[in-house]
Amino acid sequence: EEFDGDVGLMTGDNSIGQNSTCIVMTTEIMRSMIYKGSDTMREVAWVIFDEVHYMKDKERGVVWEESIIFLPPKVKMVFLSATLSNAAEFAGWVAKLRGEPCHVVYTDQRPVPLRHFGFPKGGAGMHLLCDEFGNFKSDSFHALMRTFGDNNGDEKGQGGEGARQNGRGARPKGSVGGEQDLFRLVK
């Protein structure tokens, strides 16, 4: 079904188009409407929960859980999350609760490519460290490392005159690598 622009918004601060065909709202607003027996909730056919991994949140999680539990049986649900680590377990819980299957659809494809950058404090510019294909950019990494300078006056970064003994800038006994150790760790 198409909504033809008939979309409303309900948050704690705003309420626009409460009688729209499609209403976007916070989970807290929806739970409140469920508890109050709202006429609007009686007409709901589908609920799409975006960012359902918030169920793990200590403060907000109970709101999500109660909303799922107390939605009328006729309401169909879709759950969206890019970071739900226990999707199969969650789907099993929903299936048991609702008495019908809950399917997990998964993809490794990212609609927005993930790239990693380094930006040194006080430095100029960003350095691409890992591109969207997972390729580590060692030239960029070494350029980033050069922006850190001489680390308190000591070229090897082992704590020159400005370093405190056994504090920040000082190396633990037996430590060797400097930039090379960090390069291996990051790569």
52 and 64 in contact (C-beta within 8 Å)? yes
For the chain, 187 residues long, the average pLDDT of each consecutive 10-residue run is 78 85 92 92 92 91 95 95 91 96 88 87 84 91 80 43 42 52 60
Q: Which parts of 38-115 are beta strand (E)?
A: 46-50, 76-80
What are the boundaries of each domain within the chain? Answer: 7-98
Task: Return the SS3 of 87.
Answer: helix
pLDDT exceeding 90 applies to what percent of the chain?
A: 45
**DSSP secondary structure, 123-140, as one string:** -SS-EEEE-TT--B-HHH
Residue range 7-98 forms a domain whose CATH class is: alpha beta
Give pLDDT, residue 169.
47
| pTM summary value | 0.61
What are the angstrom distances between the C-alpha of 80 and each of 41, 57, 97, 145, 162? 21, 16, 18, 39, 51
Single-letter code of the amino acid located at 59: E
| Bridge partners, 51 (sequence order) | none
* CA proximity to 91, closest of 62, 117, 55: 55
Alpha carbons within 13 angstroms on the beta-carbon side of residue 21 total 6
- Which residue reads 């226990």 in tokens? 86
Question: What is the C-alpha to C-alpha distance for residues 95 and 114, in angstroms, rounded to an integer?
Answer: 33
- Dihedral (Cα; 156, 160, 165, 166), 10-degree rounding: -20
Note the pLDDT tens digit of each residue in 14-54: 889 888 889 999 999 999 999 999 888 888 999 999 999 99
44 and 28 in contact (C-beta within 8 Å)? no
